[in-house]
Amino acid sequence: MLYTLEFHRENHERPLPALEHYDLTGQVIIITGANAGIGYECARYILAKGATKVIAACRNEKKSQEAIRKLLSETKREEGAVEYWHLELASLASVRAFAKRFLESGLPLNTLISNAAISEIGKVLTTDGLDALVQINHISPMYLAMLLYPALKRTGAVEGGPPSRFIGVTTEGAFFTGFPESADPRPVKTVSERVYDASEEDVSYFTSKILNLIGCLEIARRIPPSVNIKVAVATPGLTDTELGTKDATGEQTRIEPIREVYGTKPRTCAEGARAVLLPMTYPAERVWPEDGGIMPFYAHMQALQLKDFPVKAQDEEIRRKVWEDTIALLQLKRGDVDDCFL
């Protein structure tokens, strides 16, 4: 069932099924970008289902504290059930500091939801000298997952307990990019150094997301079978979020309704969040059946497998190059992250 425009259009018009509800009591979940959009709706649902703590990993403290007050009011949860922790994905130092803080806290980590992303910001370089779109959407999320791996591993090792989970949020646009840079020896570096073309904003975003999809696949493949961690990716579909409406600093740049931009009715954030919440909350055997491969891709709340993925994400040689280049750009060496990722 290769993902096509016809498949997307047909399924996007159909109402999504309601989520089955499961108790999340005792769980600790990190959500990047939890102060708005899909991330906010995931946090609201998770808190309502009893999670012990949600950590809102975001860059804007004022906006995050406002979101937290609203979340606590809407879910009638106690102070401390959701916390703001600073995370700036445009800074590798910030990613390291966040991971260090979490590992030193001793908290369990049941699920990491890698949700935060940007698009349509033009050509912006981070303080690390990388293209902001590539760093925020791909490199930093992979780095964060690798750095938090010890906490996920420790939490999943509880005898008789469920697996810990890493959920990547992506876009169906990853299916519709040619990704010509995949032919290069260092595809991530080549994408990062690409000359900006305003007419190809969507292409740049989609390319950053196929890199992210490949990265999630490689993380899933590299985690030893003996380690009780599961990986999935999900796309909320075309959803009415803030994505693409702000610049790299968070300032508003686009105000027209998303329907006028894309010509189709978007889902609400609560609807879009269902695709992410399904692999996060459902029993593991439902999400990762024994014959289902190492990483499902949830689109329209339907599980796609590797044979359905973008062709270039199925290519082992392309995946190897993308992963090795990501490691090279991060300048990782033995001891920085678990050996399974090197």
Which residues does the annotation mark as catalytic? 205
Torsional sign, CA 337, 151, 117, 211: positive
Contact status, residue 220 vs residue 231, Cβ threshold 8 Å: yes
- Concatenating the DSSP letter of every residue in 174-218 gives GGG---GGGGSSSHHHHHHTPPP-GGGHHHHHHHHHHHHHHHHHH
CB count within 10 Å of CB 279 equals: 28
**For the residues of 297-327, what is the DSSP string, one character each?**
EEETTEEE-GGGS-HHHH-HHHHHHHHHHHH
Minimal CA–CA distance to 187: which of 164, 156, 215? 215
Token pair of 51, please? 């999670």
Residue 337's beta-bridge partner residues?
A: 334
The DSSP symbol for 36 reads S
DSSP, res 125: B
**Which helix (H) or strand (E) element contains residue 58?**
strand 53-58
Spatial CA neighbour of 234 closest among 42, 4, 27: 42
Angstrom CA distances, 116 to 19, 112, 271, stand at: 22, 12, 17
> What do you get for the CA distance between the two ends of the chain, in Å?
33
Cβ contact 253:144 at 8 Å: no
DSSP state of 232: E
* Tokens 């001891």, located at residue: 335
Q: Which residue has the tokens 């809102």?
A: 56
